[in-house]
Structure 1
């Protein structure tokens, strides 16, 4: 089993820890909005005589474009419908998918993939050209993908220079030499390359279909193609329901037991529970008081997740450029109370920037075991930092807007943090701003916010999946923090001298995290745990903490 992966084999009712995301993701617990959908009565109709898995989610499906998607639900549904060169098994170990063979050169820098016989849902074959087209589209400045950086993380030759506009996309180290052969050139061997190939940004796109659909590509069910276990049947962007059906053109369709997936977006968790109790949902997440009510149920499961929730201060906002103010804010709220009294779902208080059980180092130990320890909640120290900040800024009071998404848990956490900080740091006022997740992400990406409650899910099994977010100019560096020492350290550990020195690289990553924490670049809140209910007649769901969080390929419903 690979590092930092978690999976729930529902049929065995146990969580397997394995060790190897998105924004992200990019996945979250949300709070009720004023326009919450109707309760159980609005859930998808149950289909008699069919194996339809009914899933409750608390956010809308944001995107089905593998180059544009940034959040956990989008990645999940894209992975329902499309497979890349690799997929992962129930333990998180990469397995060949659209590639039936991979030949690696002696120096580890050239990989030749042989594409298996497979079809898209319109009957056309999946080819090596579909991968070349998709990868070049991802790094193209015209696409403006938030995930263009991931091609450089994978070590694909010239990727970073292309993203930076220094080279043309035809210089990317990927080439379809014929329909069946894809040659990938790397600028360095990457230990987690195979895992990355199971991540949606690396999935194929049929070029002819893409060009036929133009600006409508991936915006509705009719403008999507599938080569994976399921295909989109019904979807209206922004709607509260969407459904998938089994893809009979999938090369491994014989192993798919479900006839389809029905998704229902219900932001109010009480309404979700009602839908579950009424039999309209087979799977739903719990939060708050609901968890204690169901903990003794055989349908209750707790799953450790890789998501880190944190506050991101925008350092272009007056006051937040001051490190003492940032330290004051980061120490002023009770994280333990958040996980124990609000979330109650197995989440743990986060006093770190790199989560636990994410990745194992050259010493065979989890990163957190040997990385630094950092200050937790300390309101007395917070008050001292606030006094120092007031002197340096020449102010007695400050007002900030706290942006968060409109889910139940995010709302409760934001309200609690507001109360805690205003109480611990007299003179600081927080105004709350609730937005749908998509809007919240867009505002933060544009820098149009002051302090944002956000999260990041690991895309691959290495601390770099978090640490490279805070380099100067990173699209995920929402707070616009910049530190030359940090940039140099990350560059050396990712593609410089330290990249080929595992022990020294690992120590550099620990040092990098120390800089982030010492400078209060982010204010960590908690590492997510998921409390879920799953009907006893459902088996085979696979949960992972890295990359795509849920796979349904092996799911069944009796």
Structure 2
């Protein structure tokens, strides 16, 4: 049987609740509203303070809800907090909580957030997510994590049950962007105190999310059911969610084809033909990471790379379309910027002229720098062991050879590669950076003079722009100018933006396909009739 979703006010009010999810007019909803997705391995714990892995975080976003959620583009939307405001100096944030309840019927209070945040940063918890609060610049987070002062001195307080106040050590525009991280979710203090380490087991776990834990068979399956105590339970369409552990990706794909799973990863190398065979199923989802070849501009780096004309020539000569379409074949996108194209609020720059024109310009710049086939430039590209890294390096070596650049390849194990990058013992190094939060600064801060950039490029105007962006009402123009400086100065060659190739059943609607974080919420999903 199926359900017809009509948008008229009369039918909606009589037949269905006021849905937060908005199916298109006339869509047929499946009678059974269920969603099954792949887990690569057993889930160790469903404790927001101690969880590990992206897939576990996906489960936690169904079982718990923080101050803010994300929409399909990655923009922040209200969660438990109905509204919030920041002080003029950006050092204080106040959140006003809606009336929400835990799955056992108890009210969710601001004190639950205070307890949860202190618990994460407390050294006794041994949470790897204490760094989240340091990235958010929550006052005293670093000192507490180091064991210098007690957790009670964290910059978070609850003036009353419906008000949460956060103090920051410095203005932090990306602060609200991080409030969808599971480490910031509230936890039920009384339940944890009563149940101890077993509090996350089925029948004991109490959450405030749109779903509850029904069953957990480690290494096999986790089942969630709609939570009737959720504050917007009437707007949730999906009845159940299943996470199925399949250790082998090829086996997971087979189970997808059999109809058991609704979302699975695509094995390496299979995306092109699956995209052609099943265009409605095979998708490339953004992953907020950018792949680059970083030039060593420190005193230990090659003198030739100090010439910006040469650096720009090397970057221009790379046919990124060929690299992603013919070499990688995994749905990646050519990089026209350091910031990933899907970062919320970022407008990617124009791609510019075609590759033939770019290569011609590269030859001109090399000639102006006194280099070319008659005066070849010798460089070494260092990369860590990986077949894709090798394939890309070979393709780049050939592209640069045509310009008169002799590129030697140096393949190292990851540890040695990392050590040599940190000590600036390289010419050009393969590198990738992944955003900690969904804002351009998560990428752009890497190239600050005091940032972690291994090439030691430095630009005073770039630093000034990013410093100004921290307190700007609208930092987007400043970020755009900073990105333009990177294009002009070419401290690295940006090759491609990461993607994740997956099979997603077309009947499942509501999963984000252009969000840099990829965070999804089953409360926003619905299933169409086959």
Q: Do they fold alike, i.e. is TM over 0.5?
A: yes
| Distance across 1 between alignment mates of 2:508 and 2:478 | 44
- Pick from 482, 491, 502 the counterpart of residue 512 of structure 1: 482
**What displacement does 1:492 show?**
1.9
Matches within 5 A, 1:397-436: 398=380, 400-403=382-385, 411=387, 413-423=388-398, 424=401, 426=406, 428-431=408-411
* In the alignment, structure 1 residue 467 sits paired with structure 2 residue 450: no
CA contact (8 A) 1:542 1:552 kept: no
CA contact (8 A) 2:74 2:519 kept: no
| Distance across 2 between alignment mates of 1:179 and 1:445 | 49
| Distance across 1 between alignment mates of 2:54 and 2:182 | 11
Give the aligned partner of residue 11 of structure 2: none
Give the alignment's TM-score, normalised by structure 2: 0.67
- Pick from 220, 225, 246 the counterpart of residue 225 of structure 2: 246
Give the aligned partner of residue 540 of structure 1: 510
* In the alignment, structure 1 residue 83 sits paired with structure 2 residue 65: yes
Give the alignment's TM-score, normalised by structure 1: 0.64
Q: Which has the higher contact order (CA 8 A, sep 6+)?
A: 1
Q: Name structure 1 gaps, 5 residues minimum.
A: 1-8, 14-48, 389-394, 405-410
- Pick from 484, 500, 503 the counterpart of residue 472 of structure 2: 500
The 1:354/1:551 distance shift into structure 2, 3 A limit, reads same
Could you say what the CA RMSD is over the residues aligned between the two structures, in angstroms? 5.5
Residues 308-352 of structure 1, C-alpha deviation per residue, up to 9 Å, x if partnerless? 331365969997687829948766754211222245565421031
Matches within 5 A, 1:16-35: none
Matches within 5 A, 1:420-459: 420-423=395-398, 424=401, 426=406, 428-431=408-411, 451=429, 454-457=432-435, 459=437
- Pick from 277, 281, 289 the counterpart of residue 300 of structure 1: 281
Matches within 5 A, 1:150-229: 150-152=135-137, 170-185=152-167, 194-207=176-189, 226-229=207-210
- Pick from 353, 356, 362 the counterpart of residue 341 of structure 2: 356
Give the aligned partner of residue 339 of structure 1: 324
Q: How many residues align?
A: 477
The 1:289/1:247 distance shift into structure 2, 3 A limit, reads closer
Q: Name structure 2 gaps, 5 residues minimum.
A: 1-20, 26-30, 372-376
CA contact (8 A) 2:294 2:491 kept: yes
CA contact (8 A) 2:292 2:496 kept: no
Greater Rg over alpha carbons, structure: 2
| Distance across 2 between alignment mates of 1:184 and 1:282 | 40
**What displacement does 1:453 show?**
5.2
**What displacement does 1:282 show?**
1.5
| Distance across 2 between alignment mates of 1:300 and 1:520 | 38
| Distance across 1 between alignment mates of 2:145 and 2:450 | 12
Give the aligned partner of residue 241 of structure 2: 260
Residues 60-115 of structure 1, C-alpha deviation per residue, up to 9 Å, x if partnerless? 87985656778654543332322101223456554432235557778885424235
3-state SS in 1 of match to 2:112: helix
| Distance across 2 between alignment mates of 1:222 and 1:516 | 53
**What displacement does 1:429 show?**
2.0
3-state SS in 2 of match to 1:111: strand
The 1:91/1:337 distance shift into structure 2, 3 A limit, reads closer
| Distance across 1 between alignment mates of 2:423 and 2:200 | 26
| Distance across 2 between alignment mates of 1:385 and 1:69 | 54
The 1:119/1:443 distance shift into structure 2, 3 A limit, reads farther
Give the aligned partner of residue 280 of structure 1: 260
Give the aligned partner of residue 291 of structure 1: 272
3-state SS in 2 of match to 1:83: coil
